[in-house]
Structure 1
Amino acid sequence: MLTADGPVAGSPPVSLHGLIAARAATHPQATAVEHHGVTRTYRELDDESTAFAKRLYARGVRPGDVVAICGRRSPERVVAVLGTLKAGAAFLPLDPAFPVERLHLMLTRVAARIVVGDSAGIARLAGVVPAYTYDGLGPAPAAAGTLPAVDDPDSLAYVIFTSGSTGQPKGVALTHRGLDNVIAGHRAILALGPDDRVLQFAPFSFDGVVFETALAFGAGATLILAEDDELLPGDPLAGTIARCRVTYLGAPPSTLAVTPDPGVVPLATLLTAGEQCPPHVAARWRRPGRRFFNAYGPTETTIWATMELIESDEAPAIGYAYDGVRAHVLDDALHPVEAGAVGEIFIGGVQVARGYIGEPALTAERFVPDPFGDGDRLYRTGDLASVAADGRITFLGRTDDQLKVRGHRIEPGEIEWRVAALPGVRDAAVAAVDVHGTTRLAAFYVADSGIDVAAARAAFRAEMPDWMVPATFTRVDELPRGTSGKVDRQALATAQVAAGTGPPAGRPAADLVEQLCRIGAGILLVDRVGPDDDFFDIGGNSLLAAHFVVRLNSELGHKVPLSTVFDRRTMRAMADTLKDRTHA
């Protein structure tokens, strides 16, 4: 049987909130969290999270409940996560940048007891469930006494929502047992220590943020918090790494591709995941004295399931499972494939989630009985791979239509039915299009005439996070289909790239505005960019903005800050800013 049982043995399991108490007892003055000069020691973090748990208890939160947390990166948000776990509840991380409708749907789906957050986050959620700011819960009541014992490893730890195939997101229920195994496994594999400084890069709605928190506190290290604009791909992220003396960074390959390596700072451990890592990205970031890991794992298997240390310039594999995780590559009959053959990845072991909240049929479809276990289940990933004789796994693609955009999993059905519901649209499909090494979402529709793209984007943004809003809407006479009748998404993506090459790069520009329009069209792979078109309304995102700045710097011969694209947005406004800077 060809499986990939991890060769690295982990340490004994310990809970995330238990790590804080243990570290506070042995190193109370060590810095646990740092955010622009504001710090929390391990003792302060332990005391504050215990008091937070008591305040939650006084508000009626009990073991098994779900507490939603909505706010920007801050020490208070970390306290809220730990305090929720200490109260025996599970936390639901909510990104305050998400559309209100989607946030409300998530709160309702998990039947959250309360929601806590900063004032901006809470303002968008009041009225759905009881909502409080972090300090609005009131003082910890003396009568709260001792908190209930929280020692059931199979209890719910947190819920993460992913894109759904039926038009709505689905909530994945993760347990303490799985999270504890992640902590133990990565203490052994990554071997971080108290002197490390872990950057919290992942968005709050993404399970990477759980990993970063667990990794830092599992090592007794410092968790570094920064603002969103300080984590933008390119110079902003590189500057934050250097300024904050970051020693550990986890980021998708598309972010690393446009970010200069700070080089001189002690960035000793790098982890990339969420997308296939191109060899040239690995080659650029590998260096003596730095360990570079490639990781793989669906949300349904508690963050990561396999990992490999990249030690050569060949295409990185996703490696081996670690202790407590079993990775099988199976055929359609759930039989192990031969070495070198292609099959589907199935994940088993203690990190497999409970399932999807409120969706028993979907849970039964994706979480199947383990033919090799003793009453266990396997999560059917839908990912294709080959496995070597020693168990090393190489990712090869998908068995279904699921897309990966900027590290996020997207079910096309959730978006396609919304495009098809637009006035006059008879049929619709979406595809992931590679643009300068980053992936963007493109929508294609069949209609007698064009749609109001601006109105369509506004409607999408009111209901979906930014990374699920199509960058382009293209009218086609018909959708290409294969012999099975399924939409050929690869044909759509290829046609989009071929059609949208932009004006010739060498054509002389009459003025700076025209030059910016030409460069912008080439970056966005569209035929034309107008002087007053908003870069982000015509297909741009943070990664493409970083590519745009690199091209501007190369062709214009002077440094253009990334903030110029975000602040000015149109080519005319950018040109005015650049002219002012040149004449200053």
Structure 2
Amino acid sequence: MPLRHLTPRDQHLFWQYGRGADVPVHEPLVHRAIERHAIVTPHAVAAEHHGATLTYGELDRYAGALAARLVREGVRPGDHVGLFARRSIPMLVGLFAVLKAGAAYVPQDIGRTPPAQLADVVRTARTRVILTQKEHVPRVPLPLPGGHRLIALDDPAPYDPGPLPLLPPHPDDGCCVLFVPGTAGRRHGVKLTHRNITNLLLTEPGGLGIRPGDRVAQLLGIASGPAAWEILGCLTRGATLAVRGTDTGTDTGTDATARTATVLIATPAVLSGIDPADCPHLRAVAVTGEPCPRPLADRWSRRTALFHCRGPAEATLVTTMGRRTPATGRPLPNGTVYVLGADRRALPIGETGEVWAGGDPVPAGYLGEETLNAQRYAPDPFLGAGRAMFRTRGLGRWTPDGDLEHLGRPADRPVPPGERPLLRLAGERAAATVTVTR
């Protein structure tokens, strides 16, 4: 029993506080959720960009034809396809086509990512095909490895429909591969599965109540995890994606896109450049990527429902969500959050320890990084059954009312009076410590 060292009360609260609700996910494949809207409401607008619109029926038709081409190129479930593009309608068609072909898309902003980094993505993700826009073909690092194909998303040649794979992907197959910052400037690829992503998008509060008729602003760079939340969160729920056409987080393009939106998913930096008074239709905002300063949170929460989201891409973007304060939140449905000591034993409620995430939000790990996987992922002794848990490297503690209070990284957090450095985090340098109250 991994909890027998705790009192009966703390054993009970360990699960009451740390386990999200058990909620069924009605569609465990991302593209199938989008296809449903194409069948039921084919004339509804799926996306708008620079005055151009794309209906769900058109999105499904164009993506289906491109998916057939990908299949003819040898793409199969389990493969990775590079999506080296910019925010645009062709980018959305390419993304949906990759999912229809059963593969995982690997997003990179072709206009901003250095060629050397793109080349590293190609090597690490072992992409079979790279999709881009014609104007950006010169930025694709050449020569590509043997067996790779480059396809222009906006090629004027007509798409020829054809058969899709007879075997659809499994919910535990990859949906997208995100590259996250690592040490010494390196970036590491993390494959998120359909099960990981639908658990966020098709349950609440991660779904943000998005429904047909809503307008979701697509403000962020396509390579970021929150951008996947923007795009797929909108399309899986039948809303309209309002795609921003410019790049600077505080420019008028952002303001114009946000002005008509009913739902925003944004970083604090982006949110700080928007006046909530200019967004009269907003009913929900998810702030993610980094802690939201309290004055900014107060400014927005007076106008709309503001969700504070904490978590890394390695745990499918969100570990906890909450609306009380920027520093607290609760686990998502079908997910778990643990506060553990350096020996990975559960700590009593109220004590400070390292935050680990488990359950359906946790993917298989980093691509080709066995040493790093061993440091950051571990078998989950609490759920068992072959499940894994992810080490966030952040500190936290449970409040008496069941919120997880996020306390930052060990090196960033001063030791308050009454606390003493006690536990070194396993695998970390000596400067990293967990503190416990005397």
Q: Does the Cα contact within 8 Å between 1:241 and 1:262 map onto a contact in 2?
A: no
Match of residue 165 from structure 1? 183
Q: Counterpart amino acid of 2:103?
A: A
1:328 to 324, 332, 338: 338
Q: Higher Cα Rg: structure 1 or 2?
A: 1
Cα displacement string for residues 527-576 of structure 1 (whole angstroms, at most 9, x for unaligned residues): xxxxxxxxxxxxxxxxxxxxxxxxxxxxxxxxxxxxxxxxxxxxxxxxxx
Match of residue 259 from structure 1? 274
Match of residue 360 from structure 2? 350
Q: Does the Cα contact within 8 Å between 2:34 and 2:237 map onto a contact in 1?
A: no
Match of residue 288 from structure 2? 273
Match of residue 303 from structure 1? 317
The 1:155–1:401 alpha-carbon spacing in structure 2 relative to 1, beyond 3 Å, is farther
Q: Does the Cα contact within 8 Å between 1:339 and 1:386 map onto a contact in 2?
A: yes
Say which SS state the counterpart of residue 203 (structure 2) adopts.
helix
The 1:236–1:26 alpha-carbon spacing in structure 2 relative to 1, beyond 3 Å, is closer
Match of residue 378 from structure 1? 389
Gaps of 5+ in 1: 403-483, 488-584
Match of residue 192 from structure 2? 174
Q: Counterpart amino acid of 1:250?
A: I
Q: Does the Cα contact within 8 Å between 1:296 and 1:304 map onto a contact in 2?
A: yes
Which one has a larger percent helix, Structure 1 or Structure 2? 1
Q: Does the Cα contact within 8 Å between 2:308 and 2:321 map onto a contact in 1?
A: yes
Give me the whole-angstrom Cα distance separating, in 1, the residues matched to 2:124 and 2:113.
Answer: 16
Cα displacement string for residues 294-332 of structure 1 (whole angstroms, at most 9, x for unaligned residues): 01111011121210124xxxx423311121110111111
The Cα of 1:359 is off from its aligned counterpart by 1.0
Say which SS state the counterpart of residue 240 (structure 1) adopts.
helix
Q: Does the Cα contact within 8 Å between 1:9 and 1:188 map onto a contact in 2?
A: no
The Cα of 1:263 is off from its aligned counterpart by 3.9
Gaps of 5+ in 2: 1-10, 414-428, 433-438
Percent of residue pairs bearing the same amino acid type: 31
The 1:234–1:221 alpha-carbon spacing in structure 2 relative to 1, beyond 3 Å, is same
Give me the whole-angstrom Cα distance separating, in 2, the residues matched to 1:4 and 1:156.
Answer: 27
Give me the whole-angstrom Cα distance separating, in 2, the residues matched to 1:214 and 1:297.
Answer: 18
Give me the whole-angstrom Cα distance separating, in 1, the residues matched to 2:60 and 2:205.
Answer: 21
Cα displacement string for residues 408-445 of structure 1 (whole angstroms, at most 9, x for unaligned residues): xxxxxxxxxxxxxxxxxxxxxxxxxxxxxxxxxxxxxx
1:339 maps onto 2:344 in alignment: no
Q: Counterpart amino acid of 2:96?
A: L
Match of residue 98 from structure 1? 113
Match of residue 416 from structure 2? none
Match of residue 143 from structure 2? 127
* Higher mean C-alpha deviation, range 13-22 or range 62-71: 13-22
The 1:254–1:10 alpha-carbon spacing in structure 2 relative to 1, beyond 3 Å, is farther
Cα displacement string for residues 181-214 of structure 1 (whole angstroms, at most 9, x for unaligned residues): 1122247752121111001112111011111112
Give me the whole-angstrom Cα distance separating, in 2, the residues matched to 1:264 and 1:92.
Answer: 32
Q: Does the Cα contact within 8 Å between 2:28 and 2:194 map onto a contact in 1?
A: no
The Cα of 1:139 is off from its aligned counterpart by 4.4
Give me the whole-angstrom Cα distance separating, in 1, the residues matched to 2:401 and 2:348.
Answer: 12
Say which SS state the counterpart of residue 220 (structure 1) adopts.
coil
The 1:267–1:10 alpha-carbon spacing in structure 2 relative to 1, beyond 3 Å, is farther
1:240 maps onto 2:264 in alignment: no
The Cα of 1:224 is off from its aligned counterpart by 0.8
Q: Does the Cα contact within 8 Å between 1:157 and 1:174 map onto a contact in 2?
A: yes
Cα displacement string for residues 130-173 of structure 1 (whole angstroms, at most 9, x for unaligned residues): 2221144954445x434333141111111111112254211112
The 1:189–1:338 alpha-carbon spacing in structure 2 relative to 1, beyond 3 Å, is farther
The 1:485–1:341 alpha-carbon spacing in structure 2 relative to 1, beyond 3 Å, is closer
1:33 maps onto 2:47 in alignment: yes
1:387 maps onto 2:398 in alignment: yes
1:397 maps onto 2:408 in alignment: yes
Say which SS state the counterpart of residue 383 (structure 2) adopts.
coil
Q: Counterpart amino acid of 1:127?
A: P
The Cα of 1:259 is off from its aligned counterpart by 2.9
Cα displacement string for residues 386-425 of structure 1 (whole angstroms, at most 9, x for unaligned residues): 11244311111113689xxxxxxxxxxxxxxxxxxxxxxx
* Alignment TM-score, normalising by the size of structure 1: 0.64
1:50 maps onto 2:57 in alignment: no
1:155 maps onto 2:173 in alignment: yes
The Cα of 1:237 is off from its aligned counterpart by 2.6
1:5 to 13, 19, 29: 19
Q: Does the Cα contact within 8 Å between 1:179 and 1:351 map onto a contact in 2?
A: yes
Say which SS state the counterpart of residue 368 (structure 1) adopts.
strand
Match of residue 210 from structure 1? 228
Say which SS state the counterpart of residue 34 (structure 1) adopts.
strand
Give me the whole-angstrom Cα distance separating, in 1, the residues matched to 2:398 and 2:207.
Answer: 21
Give me the whole-angstrom Cα distance separating, in 2, the residues matched to 1:382 and 1:258.
Answer: 30
Q: Counterpart amino acid of 1:363?
A: N
Q: Does the Cα contact within 8 Å between 1:286 and 1:292 map onto a contact in 2?
A: yes
Taking the TM superposition and a 5 Å limit, the aligned residue runs for 1:177-576 are 177-186=195-204, 190-229=208-247, 232-233=249-250, 236-242=253-259, 245-263=260-278, 265-288=280-303, 290-310=304-324, 315-374=325-384, 375-399=386-410
Say which SS state the counterpart of residue 356 (structure 1) adopts.
coil
Give me the whole-angstrom Cα distance separating, in 1, the residues matched to 2:243 and 2:78.
Answer: 29
Q: Does the Cα contact within 8 Å between 1:187 and 1:215 map onto a contact in 2?
A: no
Say which SS state the counterpart of residue 22 (structure 1) adopts.
helix
Q: Does the Cα contact within 8 Å between 1:330 and 1:336 map onto a contact in 2?
A: yes
Cα displacement string for residues 31-84 of structure 1 (whole angstroms, at most 9, x for unaligned residues): 111112211111111111111100111222222211001111111101101100
Q: Does the Cα contact within 8 Å between 2:134 and 2:152 map onto a contact in 1?
A: yes
Q: Counterpart amino acid of 1:87?
A: A
Match of residue 520 from structure 1? none
Q: Does the Cα contact within 8 Å between 1:70 and 1:95 map onto a contact in 2?
A: yes
Q: Does the Cα contact within 8 Å between 2:46 and 2:235 map onto a contact in 1?
A: yes
The 1:135–1:273 alpha-carbon spacing in structure 2 relative to 1, beyond 3 Å, is closer
Give me the whole-angstrom Cα distance separating, in 2, the residues matched to 1:111 and 1:239.
Answer: 38
Say which SS state the counterpart of residue 323 (structure 1) adopts.
coil
Give me the whole-angstrom Cα distance separating, in 1, the residues matched to 2:55 and 2:369.
Answer: 41
Give me the whole-angstrom Cα distance separating, in 1, the residues matched to 2:166 and 2:334.
Answer: 28
Match of residue 64 from structure 1? 78
Give me the whole-angstrom Cα distance separating, in 1, the residues matched to 2:339 and 2:157.
Answer: 52
Give me the whole-angstrom Cα distance separating, in 2, the residues matched to 1:236 and 1:36.
Answer: 10
Give me the whole-angstrom Cα distance separating, in 1, the residues matched to 2:83 and 2:63.
Answer: 14
